[in-house]
Structure 1
Amino acid sequence: MIASVRGPVLEIGLDHAVVEVGGVGLAVHATPSTLAGLRRGVESRLATTLIVREDSLTLFGFADADERELFLLVQTVSGIGPRLALATIAVLEPDTLRRALADGDLTTLQRIPGVGKKSAERLVVELRDKVAAPATVPVGASAAPAAGGAGGRREQVVEALVGLGFTARPAEQAVDAVLARSPDAAAAELLRSALSSLGRSR
């Protein structure tokens, strides 16, 4: 397993970053909050895991080893793959996820796109005894600087939300609502706010 990568950040997208390691640019898929903590041209370190499939090798990156372990743990549940696991830690911060699993909080778990009541119950049954409820919930990462016009950001963020499992129409409505309140919001901030809004509406 590739446990971590460190190097200058060459590119930052809405769902991945490219980190140069030994002269090679590695595409690392990550959550909006992790990507918001990166800066182009600045050396960064990410905890990582490599998911191997017959037709692909996909590298996932995390702000710390704690997020990575939860990403891997969630995938031990039947029917949950890397995409849904990444959506899980994108919508719910690690401590929020642990608390929901430990408390059997199905409502919170159903904020995750693609997770209905039965899936939430399965998460609780299979993971409740593997996590401990935290004492506090940490504050999220700061937003990255704004980039591009509102139209371009809107299209990119809607596409990222659809990639996380939300349907197009609710994604568009959530992004438009955030832009109406904060027209100059950075793409990463726009994505996190829309995720929060979609989570509450589920």
Structure 2
Amino acid sequence: MIAQLQGQLVEKNLTDVVIDCAGVGYFVEISLHTYSLIPDGEHIKLYTYLLVREDAQRLFGFAEKSEREVFKLLLTVSGIGANTARTMLSSLDPSQIAQAIANGDVRTIQSVKGIGAKTAQRVILDLRDKILQVLEDPQISVLPSNRGRDEALSALETLGYVRKQAQKVVDKILSDQPDATTEQLIKQALKQL
């Protein structure tokens, strides 16, 4: 298996790059997250994953090892193929996906184009235990299941706030006050949004 490529960037597109490694040009499929991290026209290094199927061999590249690990985990879920996994990594960065899986946040995963409620639930169910073992990121923590959190987020969304922003604020409040009621969460979040 090809684990990484290091060479001169020949071509850079939103969905793929061509890397010249000792005179051989490798076509590597990438996510938008990786695209945003690749500098133009320089010597680059990508961590890769070679996907071999009966009808094709596809090489996927990642700027970070953590992104490659999330991609490999996503491929283990029934109903998630390489294109869907790459779309997920283009829509959300690896830490957002890991955080959503760890906390059972179906809505965040479902916000990715092409992923329905059942697939999002399957991703969480299949990967919840695995994601924290693979990504040893101190910023990713499992929040205790809190019905008040979900209700507060729904209320803030109804009031017109963007879910991702509201989620950050509510999670911060919960980390300081784990026993906060729904009303307290909403009041404090409104002060901070």
Q: Same fold (TM over 0.5)?
A: yes
Residue 161 (structure 1) aligns with: none
| Residues 84 and 114, structure 1, Cα contact 8 Å, conserved in 2 | yes
- Residues in 2 aligned to 1:11 and 1:94: alpha-carbon distance in whole angstroms: 24
- Residues in 1 aligned to 2:65 and 2:127: alpha-carbon distance in whole angstroms: 18
- Residues in 1 aligned to 2:22 and 2:51: alpha-carbon distance in whole angstroms: 21
SS class of match (2:78) = coil
Residue 168 (structure 1) aligns with: none
Residue 30 (structure 1) aligns with: 30
- Residues in 2 aligned to 1:22 and 1:90: alpha-carbon distance in whole angstroms: 29
| Residues 2 and 48, structure 2, Cα contact 8 Å, conserved in 1 | yes
| Residues 33 and 89, structure 2, Cα contact 8 Å, conserved in 1 | no
RCO greater where, 1 or 2, for CA within 8 Å and sep 6 or more? 1
- Residues in 1 aligned to 2:23 and 2:17: alpha-carbon distance in whole angstroms: 15
Residue 6 (structure 1) aligns with: 6
Letter in 2 for 1:118: K
Give the TM-score taking structure 1 as reference length.
0.64
Letter in 2 for 1:10: V
Residue 119 (structure 2) aligns with: 119
Larger radius of gyration: 2
Map 1:135-174 to 2 at 5 A. 135-136=138-139
Which runs of no fewer than 5 residues in structure 1 stay unpaired? 138-195, 197-202
Residue 170 (structure 1) aligns with: none
Matched, 1:41 2:44: no
Letter in 2 for 1:23: G
Matched, 1:104 2:104: yes
> Following TM superposition, where does structure 1 have runs of at least 4 consecutive aligned residues deviating by more than 2 angstroms?
36-41, 132-137
| Aligned-pair CA distance for 1:135 | 4.5
SS class of match (1:88) = helix
Q: 1:32-72 deviations in whole A, cap 9, x for unaligned? A: 22123323431000000111122211110001111101100
Letter in 1 for 2:139: T
- Residues in 2 aligned to 1:64 and 1:82: alpha-carbon distance in whole angstroms: 17
Matched, 1:65 2:68: no
CA gap 1:60/1:50 in 2 versus in 1, 3 angstroms = same
SS class of match (2:59) = strand
Letter in 2 for 1:83: N
* Percent of aligned positions that are identical: 39
Give the TM-score taking structure 2 as reference length.
0.67
- Residues in 1 aligned to 2:16 and 2:109: alpha-carbon distance in whole angstroms: 24
- Residues in 1 aligned to 2:38 and 2:123: alpha-carbon distance in whole angstroms: 31
Residue 183 (structure 1) aligns with: none
Residue 193 (structure 1) aligns with: none
Letter in 2 for 1:116: G
- Residues in 2 aligned to 1:93 and 1:64: alpha-carbon distance in whole angstroms: 11
Two-structure CA RMSD over aligned residues (Å): 1.8
